[in-house]
């Protein structure tokens, strides 16, 4: 087993060296290149990069776990998010990319667009909500890296987290978004192959589909076996959240022209959905073979069993899959890490503090904020035992506070800044309190009396926007789309 561990470590070192080496060769020296790849991303690079940033270590942990615990019903967790992502790509992303051609100075962040709709007062609240959520994602990827390295190699979780964070920081700080565009292409292909290989091995170990059907729990083959609170959470949160997920906005802003935006999302996100389904099938197969395994780490744990199951071939396959999983969590971690860095640099230092020197902004973002954001993410993952719950509440606050202002701000002339600001503060706050009471006090998934926090916040935000638009005199800023 010691020799096998050595090969895993060799795989990590080689992978890290390649990714950091690519980043070094693609290193950048300007603000625009570091944050948005000079807005020259072509279709193939953008599509593969979109796939890469949508993966993550959680595919082999959380999505395999959902298949292991819930079977086909667990697929709703990402079916809704894939639909949301395609809607973003077809409808909202072209609007964002067109703004680059007409107002490039204000086409960097979500805060830019919300300020465009409702005035400058919306910039910072929008930035805070999006930044909080994305910092949680980076923390989750660091934690996932710790779990995976612990389950497969036996490293202490903290050591695995440090390795994951170190590689993410090294290649992001070297090459910024230019390097991320290249490395996520490599990682997307690498992990797709690894995920399919893992599913095939899980099916082989289980003895084929017939044995899986015979030995896995019968409930795993039902598609609609969800509790009411989960239906509320997945159908509302995951169906709406990805309209506001900043890595998607970066993809739109960095595209070389508006023509490639729809194909990028229309091709890329369904392919992501296929790999997510592959992860669920892996979980279902493993539930038939290892019914008593720990669901949270059954995917990584199965990787560690491959050498004993398949000998020398198992060693080779285990190292390959293990390294591909690290590639997935690194791609999502890096792609998400640069988001809060851009948000803070642009929305605070550039737009609020008035720093316009591109070289100074570049240095602030690259050498101060990037390490600071990663340190904060890492600290959160250490301080909060269940980082996934932090991520979930972040998703819900973003949807409750920002979804209806975004949709009605585009479609309805009477939507105004007072209602939008109230939605962020009141609907977002009520959602956070409701969820926290359900999770920490009632020890459930964030509901009270069967009514989930997101349902309350979602409806409250809509009411606020409608009442505010109909009964207040405030109008949107002079930069409104309807001016």
List domains and CATH numbers for the chain.
Answer: 2-383 (1.20.1730.10), 387-483 (no CATH)
List beta partners, residue 447: 452
Contacting residues for 134 by C-beta, under 8 A, at least 6 apart: 246, 247, 336, 337, 339, 340, 343
| Type and span of the H or E element at 451 | strand 451-452
| Type and span of the H or E element at 470 | helix 453-471
Distance CA 464, CA 423 (A): 6
Nearest one of 36, 62, 102, 112 to 328, comparing CA atoms: 62
Q: What is the DSSP string of 395-437?
A: HHHHHHHHHHHHHHHHH-TT--HHHHHHIIIIIHHHHHHHHHI
pLDDT, position 280: 94
pLDDT, position 410: 93
Contact criterion met (CB below 8 Å) for 481 and 413: no
List beta partners, residue 452: 447
- Average pLDDT for runs of 10 along the chain of length 483: 62 72 70 87 92 76 88 88 94 94 90 94 95 86 82 83 85 81 84 94 96 95 88 88 92 94 96 93 96 89 92 90 83 86 95 93 92 90 68 87 96 93 95 90 89 95 95 56 43
Cα-Cα-Cα-Cα dihedral sign, residues 285, 291, 295, 298: negative
Contacting residues for 107 by C-beta, under 8 A, at least 6 apart: 96, 99, 100, 253
Residue 389, CA atoms < 13 Å, CB-side half-sphere: 15
Contact criterion met (CB below 8 Å) for 191 and 328: yes
Distances 461 to 391, 464, 480 between C-alpha atoms, Å: 20, 5, 20
Distance CA 155, CA 230 (A): 34
Distance CA 392, CA 388 (A): 6
- Kindly report whether the global pTM for this prediction surpasses the value 0.85: yes
């Amino acid at each position: 087993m010691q020799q096998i561990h050595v090969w895993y470590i060799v795989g990590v070192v080689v992978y890290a060296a390649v990714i950091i080496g690519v980043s070094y060769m693609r290193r950048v020296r300007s603000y625009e290149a570091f944050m948005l790849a000079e807005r020259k991303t072509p279709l193939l690079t953008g599509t593969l990069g979109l796939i890469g940033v949508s993966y993550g270590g959680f595919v082999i942990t959380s999505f395999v776990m959902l298949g292991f615990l819930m079977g086909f019903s667990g697929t709703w967790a990402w079916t809704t998010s894939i639909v949301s992502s395609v809607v973003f790509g077809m409808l909202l992303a072209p609007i964002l990319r067109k703004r680059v051609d007409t107002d490039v100075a204000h086409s960097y962040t979500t805060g830019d667009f919300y300020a465009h709709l409702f005035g400058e007062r919306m910039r910072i609240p929008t930035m805070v909500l999006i930044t909080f959520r994305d910092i949680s994602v980076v923390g989750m990827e660091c934690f996932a890296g710790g779990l995976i390295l612990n389950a497969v190699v036996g490293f202490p979780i903290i050591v695995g987290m440090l390795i994951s964070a170190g590689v993410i920081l090294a290649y992001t700080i070297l090459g910024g978004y230019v390097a991320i565009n290249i490395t996520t292409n490599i990682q997307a292909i690498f992990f797709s192959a690894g995920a399919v290989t893992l599913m095939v091995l899980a099916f082989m170990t289980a003895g084929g589909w017939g044995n899986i059907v015979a030995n896995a729990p019968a409930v795993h083959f039902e598609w609609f076996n969800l509790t009411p609170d989960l239906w509320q959470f997945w159908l509302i949160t995951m169906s709406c959240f990805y309209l506001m997920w900043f890595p998607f906005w970066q993809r739109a802003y960095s595209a070389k022209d508006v023509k490639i935006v729809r194909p990028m999302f229309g091709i890329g996100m369904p392919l992501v959905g296929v790999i997510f389904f592959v992860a669920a099938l892996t979980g279902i197969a493993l539930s038939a073979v290892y019914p008593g395994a720990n669901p949270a780490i059954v995917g990584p744990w199965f990787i560690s069993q491959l050498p004993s199951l398949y000998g020398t071939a198992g060693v080779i396959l285990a190292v390959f899959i293990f390294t591909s999983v690290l590639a997935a969590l690194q791609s999502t971690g890096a792609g998400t890490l640069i988001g809060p860095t851009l948000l803070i640099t642009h929305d605070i230092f550039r737009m609020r503090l008035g720093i316009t020197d591109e070289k100074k902004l570049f240095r602030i973002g690259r050498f101060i904020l990037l390490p600071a954001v990663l340190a904060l993410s890492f600290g959160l993952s250490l301080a909060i035992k269940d980082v996934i719950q932090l991520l979930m509440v972040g998703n819900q606050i973003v949807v409750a506070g920002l979804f209806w202002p975004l949709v009605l701000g585009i479609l309805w002339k009477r939507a105004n800044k007072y209602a939008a600001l109230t939605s962020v503060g009141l609907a977002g706050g009520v959602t956070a309190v409701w969820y926290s009471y359900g999770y920490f006090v009632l020890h459930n998934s964030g509901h009270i009396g069967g009514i989930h926090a997101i349902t309350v916040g979602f409806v409250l935000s809509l009411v606020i926007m409608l009442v505010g638009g109909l009964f207040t005199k405030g109008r949107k800023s002079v930069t409104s789309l309807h001016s």
